[in-house]
């Protein structure tokens, strides 16, 4: 099956799709006629959807998504820069949650939005495991605490660097600094082999965090979970991460129990001239 179907009755032969296809899958045989799929390049199609997105008449269907219709943008202006700036600046790592749970359907919608994140060659290799019950999140936190104690006993450098023994001890005394008593958690994982599976997974996780923020949910990166998954087979097994796959991202999720009122300051970007152009060095958060 060819990757793309073009409705010749709707096609205006404007060649926009031909010019925009990143891999040259479409071609014009005769000027003024609808484009066709180049048989020699059909296998190169990555289902990115650029042809669908650019067609003003909805004449193109990606056959991998034949059961779905393209959705027109609601307006020419997707969002004003001021609103986007406020949205980005208002994102906070939420560590205090209401007891109210998030449903699997609500989290699935976030995962669907995260599927629009870029990935290397549009391979979209990211899978997710979702814990939608607070009890399961606490089971995971206990496994992470066990891993922390093991690393501390081994005198692993990361144990001292992150003070893992203290965090594990706090957990046993009812103070959860690992999963922050979150009602839900989502972790992203991808195959070890691939083009950019680790980067793709992290980007997808970042998109899911922003999707959660857009819906008024709270999210916080669960770095201790990611760390433990690198060392603990029980953690990987509990999270259903298959063999030859790696967990790269984890987010605590829930309804925030607090509300922020202000945008805190950040260092302004300051470029320094370099041979190649400009360098914008990291500005460390240091006390004066």
Q: Are 37 and 114 in the same domain?
A: no
Kindly state whether residue 285 falls inside one of the protein's structural domains.
no
Q: Are 197 and 121 in the same domain?
A: yes
Q: Check residue 256 and report its DSSP letter.
A: B
User: Does the global pTM surpass 0.85?
Assistant: yes
Least Cα distance to 47 among 25, 73, 19, 69 occurs for 25
Task: Determine which helix (DSSP H) or strand (DSSP E) holds 180, and give its type and residue range.
Answer: none
For residue 108, the model assigns a pLDDT of: 98
- Residue 46, pLDDT > 80, answer yes
Q: Are 17 and 101 in the same domain?
A: no
Share of the chain above pLDDT 70, in %: 99
Question: Structural domain of residue 92, as residue ranges?
Answer: 88-254
Average pLDDT over the chain reads 96
- Residue 51, pLDDT > 70, answer yes
User: pLDDT class for 76, splitting at 50, 70, 90?
Assistant: confident
- Is 93 within 8 Å of 221 (Cβ atoms)? yes
Q: Are 129 and 170 in the same domain?
A: yes
Kindly state whether residue 58 falls inside one of the protein's structural domains.
yes
Q: Check which CATH number belongs to the domain holding 8 and give it.
A: 3.30.70.20
Kindly state whether residue 78 falls inside one of the protein's structural domains.
no
Share of the chain above pLDDT 90, in %: 92
For residue 247, the model assigns a pLDDT of: 99
Kindly state whether residue 81 falls inside one of the protein's structural domains.
no
Q: Are 99 and 242 in the same domain?
A: yes
- Residue 287, pLDDT > 70, answer no
Q: Are 244 and 137 in the same domain?
A: yes
Q: Are 105 and 181 in the same domain?
A: yes
Q: Check which CATH number belongs to the domain holding 133 and give it.
A: 3.40.109.10
User: pLDDT class for 288, splitting at 50, 70, 90?
Assistant: low
Kindly state whether residue 286 falls inside one of the protein's structural domains.
no
Domain count, the chain: 2
Q: Are 94 and 212 in the same domain?
A: yes
Q: Could you report the per-residue pLDDT of 130-147, keeping only the tens digit for each?
A: 999 999 999 999 999 999
- Residue 75, pLDDT > 90, answer no
Q: Check residue 272 and report its DSSP letter.
A: E
Q: Could you report the per-residue pLDDT of 93-130, keeping only the tens digit for each?
A: 999 999 999 999 999 999 999 999 999 999 999 999 99
Give the C-alpha separation, 226 to 72, whole Å. Answer: 38
Q: Are 10 and 139 in the same domain?
A: no
Q: Are 142 and 247 in the same domain?
A: yes
Kindly state whether residue 82 falls inside one of the protein's structural domains.
no
Q: Are 157 and 192 in the same domain?
A: yes
Kindly state whether residue 241 falls inside one of the protein's structural domains.
yes
Kindly state whether residue 71 falls inside one of the protein's structural domains.
no
Give the C-alpha separation, 126 to 182, whole Å. Answer: 23
283/280: higher pLDDT: 280
Q: Are 39 and 181 in the same domain?
A: no
DSSP codes joined into one string, 58-120: --EEEGGGTTS-----SSSS---HHHHHHHHHT------B-SPPPPHHHHHHHHHHHTTS--G
């Amino acid at each position: 099956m060819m990757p793309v179907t073009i409705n010749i009755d709707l096609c205006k032969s404007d060649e926009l799709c031909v010019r925009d296809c990143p891999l040259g899958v479409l071609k014009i045989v005769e000027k003024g006629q609808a484009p066709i799929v180049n048989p020699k390049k059909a296998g190169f199609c990555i289902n990115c959807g650029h042809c669908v997105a650019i067609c003003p008449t909805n004449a193109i269907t990606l056959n991998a998504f034949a059961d779905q219709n393209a959705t027109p943008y609601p307006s020419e202006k997707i969002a004003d820069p001021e609103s986007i700036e406020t949205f980005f600046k208002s994102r906070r790592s939420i560590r205090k949650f209401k007891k109210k749970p998030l449903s699997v359907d609500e989290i699935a919608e976030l995962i669907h939005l995260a599927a629009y994140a870029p990935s290397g060659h549009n391979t979209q290799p990211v899978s997710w495991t979702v814990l939608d019950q607070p009890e399961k999140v606490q089971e995971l936190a206990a496994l992470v605490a066990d891993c922390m104690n093991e690393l501390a006993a081994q005198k692993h450098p990361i144990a001292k660097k992150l003070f893992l023994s203290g965090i594990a001890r706090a957990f046993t005394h009812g103070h959860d600094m690992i999963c922050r008593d979150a009602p839900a958690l989502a972790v992203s994982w991808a195959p070890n082999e691939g083009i950019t599976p680790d980067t793709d997974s992290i980007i997808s996780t970042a998109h899911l965090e922003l999707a959660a923020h857009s819906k008024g949910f709270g999210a916080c990166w669960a770095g201790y979970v990611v760390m433990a998954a690198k060392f603990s087979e029980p953690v990987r097994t509990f999270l259903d991460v298959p063999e030859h796959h790696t967990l790269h991202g984890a987010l605590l999720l829930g309804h925030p129990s607090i509300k922020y009122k202000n945008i805190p300051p950040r260092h302004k970007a300051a470029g320094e001239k370099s041979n190649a152009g400009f360098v914008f060095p990291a500005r460390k958060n240091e006390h004066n």
